[in-house]
Each structure stands twice: as structure tokens, then as C-alpha cells.
């Protein structure tokens, strides 16, 4: 009888330990997925900000190169790893994001790049709005260009006019 109780206690201990290990593994996997979720879209956002910064410098060749990097970031996104609300918006904007990035990368005409950047910014805004960024993102507006853009800095640096009207615009929304 004593051996039976010891054997039963040993089996129960092993089952309990195995269950804890399995639960911890599941937590680790879901934690990893969340990290992937954040980095999935973060690379797209970072590439978008690089395109914006190149436009601020009025450097059409650099803008084209940064748009090519944006395309790479867009195609690297694994939709099945996005949160459901991000996935829904991603499905709505991915074709436009891709087309705009291709258009910007395919030309060195600064005016065309800036015109296309307006549309790119609208899609990026829709996406970042649902992604809960880890730092504040500022939606800025230029009345002269009648266009918005996103920035990590609160200080206005206008991508639509570069140095000719660098500070034209204002913050219209803070996304947190």
C-alpha cells in the first residue's frame, strides 16, 4: 500500500511538472509572437520614416532608394502573425502601400515622389493608428500642400517642400 501511494504521488508530481512545462512553453511562444507582431510592422514604419526624411532633404535618389527598402519591408510582413485589427487594416492598405512605394522607388522626379507620398502617408496612418506604437507618433499637416505625414518628432520638418518651407505645418494628432 505504501509503495502504491509513493508511486501515485510520483506520477502526479511528474504530470504536474509536465503540465507546468507545457504551459510555460505556450507562454513563451505567445510572447515571441507578440515580439514578432511589433517588429513586423515596425520595419514598415521605420522604412516609411526613412522615405519621409529623404524627402525632407529633397534628395530624389535617396528617396527612391529608401522607397525600395520600404517595398522590401512591406513584402517581408507575415500577415498571419499580425493581430486581428492590424491584419484587417493591413489587408485594406497593403496594395496601395506597395503601389505607392513602387511608384516612389521607380522615379527620381521629386515632385512625383512627393505627390505619391501623400497617398503613402494616408495608408501608413491607417496602419499605425491600429498598431499601438511604443512611442508617440505625430500626424502633421501642411496647408500649402494640403497633405498629412507622420513623424516621430513633434518638431515640424515638411517633406513636401524640404528646405524651401521646412517648418510649414503643424501637429494635428498624437498617436499613442
Tens of pLDDT, residue by residue over 127-137, are 999 998 889 99
84 within some domain: yes
Unique residue bearing C-alpha cell 511608384: 103
159 within some domain: yes
Distances (CA, A) of 114 to 28, 37, 76, 108, 160: 43, 30, 25, 11, 6
pLDDT digits (tens, 9 = 90+) for 109-124: 999 999 999 999 999 9
Residue 70 in contact with residue 45, Cβ under 8 Å?
no
17 within some domain: no
14 within some domain: no
18 within some domain: no
Residue 145 in contact with residue 160, Cβ under 8 Å?
yes
Question: Taking the model in full, what pTM does it have?
Answer: 0.78
Q: Which among 37, 31, 129, 130 is positioned nearest to 85, based on CA atoms?
A: 130
Q: 168-171: long-range contacts (C-beta < 8 A, 24 or more apart)?
A: 168/142, 168/143, 168/144, 169/140, 169/141, 169/142, 169/143, 170/140, 170/141, 171/138, 171/139, 171/140
- What is the model's pLDDT at position 34? 43
pLDDT digits (tens, 9 = 90+) for 50-94: 999 999 999 999 999 999 999 999 999 998 899 999 999 999 999
116 within some domain: yes
123 within some domain: yes
Domain count for the chain: 1
pLDDT digits (tens, 9 = 90+) for 5-19: 665 555 445 444 444
19 within some domain: no
Q: Structural domain of residue 133, as residue ranges? A: 41-175
Amino acid at each position: 500500500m505504501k509503495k502504491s501511494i509513493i508511486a501515485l504521488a510520483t506520477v502526479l508530481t511528474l504530470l504536474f511538472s509536465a503540465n507546468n512545462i507545457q504551459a510555460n512553453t505556450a507562454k513563451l511562444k505567445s510572447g515571441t509572437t507578440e515580439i514578432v507582431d511589433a517588429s513586423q510592422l515596425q520595419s514598415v514604419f521605420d522604412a516609411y520614416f526613412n522615405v519621409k526624411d529623404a524627402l525632407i532633404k529633397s534628395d530624389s535618389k535617396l528617396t527612391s532608394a529608401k522607397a525600395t527598402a520600404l517595398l522590401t519591408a512591406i513584402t517581408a510582413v507575415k500577415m498571419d502573425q499580425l493581430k486581428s485589427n492590424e491584419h484587417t487594416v493591413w489587408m485594406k492598405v497593403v496594395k496601395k502601400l506597395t503601389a505607392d512605394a513602387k511608384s516612389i522607388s521607380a522615379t527620381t522626379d521629386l515632385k512625383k515622389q512627393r505627390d505619391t507620398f501623400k497617398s503613402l502617408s494616408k495608408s501608413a496612418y491607417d496602419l499605425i493608428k491600429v498598431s499601438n506604437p511604443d512611442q508617440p507618433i505625430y500626424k502633421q499637416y501642411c496647408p500649402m500642400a494640403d497633405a498629412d505625414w507622420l513623424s516621430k518628432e513633434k518638431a515640424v520638418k515638411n517633406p513636401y517642400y524640404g528646405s524651401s518651407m521646412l517648418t510649414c505645418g503643424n501637429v494635428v494628432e498624437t498617436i499613442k
